[in-house]
Amino acid sequence: MSALTQSTPAAARTDAAPEKELRPPSYWPFVVPALVVVLTIIIFPWVFTIWMSLNEWKVGSPTTFVGFSNYLRLTTDPRFLEAVGHTMVYTVLSVVLPLILGTLAAVVFHQKFAGRGFLRGVFIMPMMATPVAIALVWTMMFHPQLGVLNYLLSLVGIPAQLWVFHPATVIPSLVLVETWQWTPLVMLIVLGGLAAIPTEPYESAQIDGASFWQVFRFITLPLIMPFLFIAGMIRMIDAVKSFDIIFAITQGGPGSASETINIYLYSVAFTYYDLGYGSAIAVVFFLLIVALAAVMLYARQRMLWTEIASGA
C-alpha cells in the first residue's frame, strides 16, 4: 500500500525527468534526526542570539528590551573599532602569506619523490595538532631571554625581538604562528588543483622552450586559480575567526594590541557577562564574515569578466 502511494508521484513525473524516479520524499526519515540536532545546536542559538542582541542582558540582572541600542553602542565603542582594525590586518596577512607559501609547497609536493606520502603527513601536522599545545610551545619560543627564536636570530646577526611582548610586533608574531599552522591547508587544496591539470599544455610549452617561471606564470597559475580562490576563501573565514592561538598566547595583549573581534567578543560575553552586547557583536561579526566572502566572490567574478573581455 505504502509502496503504491509512494510510486504515484514519481510515476507522474517520469515523462518530465525519467532519471528521477527514485526521488520520492521517503528519504526524509534519514535526515530527521540530524535536522533536530541542527535545529537545536545551530538554528536555535542563532535565533536566540539575534533576540538577545536586542536586549540589555546581563547575567544576574533582569533583562530589558532595548531595540538596536546595542548595535548603536558598537559604532562608538573604541575598543570594538580597534578590534576590527586588528582583525583586518591579522586576516589579510594570514590569508596572503599561507597562499604564497602553500602554492610553492604544492608545486614541490606535486613532484614525485621517495616518501612523499609520509612527508606530506608530516607537513600537515601543524594544522592537525592541538592549537593550545602548539601555542604553549610558541610562547616559550617567543620568550625574549630564553626563547630559541632570538637565539636563531642572533646566529644571523639580527638583534633580539620582543615578539608577542611588544605592541608593534605582536600581530606579525601571531601571524607567523598562524602561517606556520595553516600553510599546509593551502598546499593540500592547490595540490588537488595541480593534480587536475592536463599534461598537454606543459608538453607544448616544453617544445616551445618556455622557462620554468614562464610555465608557472602562464600555464600553472591560471589553471590553479579556482583552487587558490577556494583556499583564500577558507583561509579568510578561519583567519577572521582565529581564537585559540591568539587567546592562548596573548589573550589580546599586550594591552589590547592583539585584541581581535573574536577575542573582544569573548571578554564582553564571558568576562563581563554582558550577553546582550556580546550577542550584538556576534551578529555583526557574522555579517562581516559574510560580507568579506561576498566581496571576494564579487572580485573573482570581476576577474573572470576582465579575462573574458581581454580575450584570454
Partner 1 sequence: MTSINVRQIVGQIGLWLSVFVIVSPAILFFLWMASLSLKFEVDNAAYPPVFIPERIAWKNYGDVLASNRFLTYFVNSLIVTGSATFLALVVGVPAGYGIARMAAHKSAVVILIARITPGLSYLIPLFLLFQWLGLLGTLVPQIIIHLVVTVPIVIWIMIGYFETTPMELEEAALIDGAGRWQVFRHVALPIARPGIAVAFILAVIFSWNNFVFGIVLAGRETRTLPVAVYNMISFDQLSWGPLAAAALIVTFPVLLLTVLAQRQIVAGLTAGAVKGG
CB of 139 to partner 1, least distance (A): 7
Residue 148 binds partner 1, judged by CB under 8 A: yes
Residue 65 binds partner 1, judged by CB under 8 A: no
Q: Residue 27: name the closest of 9, 1, 6 by CA.
A: 6
Alpha carbons 174 and 242: distance in angstroms, whole number: 10
**Only segment of 161-169, 202-210, 216-224, 283-291 that touches partner 1 (CB under 8 A):** 283-291
CB of 42 to partner 1, least distance (A): 5
Residues in 219-238 that interact with partner 1 by CB under 8 A: 230, 234, 237-238
Map grid coordinates 592561538 to a residue: 245
Interface pick for partner 1 out of 11, 92, 133, 158 (rule CB under 8 A): 133
Comparison of 184 and 252: residue with beta carbon closer to partner 1: 184
Sign of CA dihedral 257, 262, 263, 265: positive
SS3 content of the chain, % helix, strand, coil (to 5): 75, 0, 25
Residues in 28-47 that interact with partner 1 by CB under 8 A: 28-31, 33-38, 41-46
Residue 55: helix, strand or coil by DSSP?
strand
- Look up residue 140 and give its three cell numbers: 616559550
Residue 304 binds partner 1, judged by CB under 8 A: no
Residues in 175-194 that interact with partner 1 by CB under 8 A: 180, 184-185, 188-189, 191-192
Residue 56: helix, strand or coil by DSSP?
strand
- Look up residue 146 and give its three cell numbers: 630564553
Interface pick for partner 1 out of 290, 291, 299, 304 (rule CB under 8 A): 290
Residue 279 binds partner 1, judged by CB under 8 A: yes
Residues in 4-23 that interact with partner 1 by CB under 8 A: 22-23
CA distances for 209 relative to 194, 205, 216, angstroms:
21, 6, 13
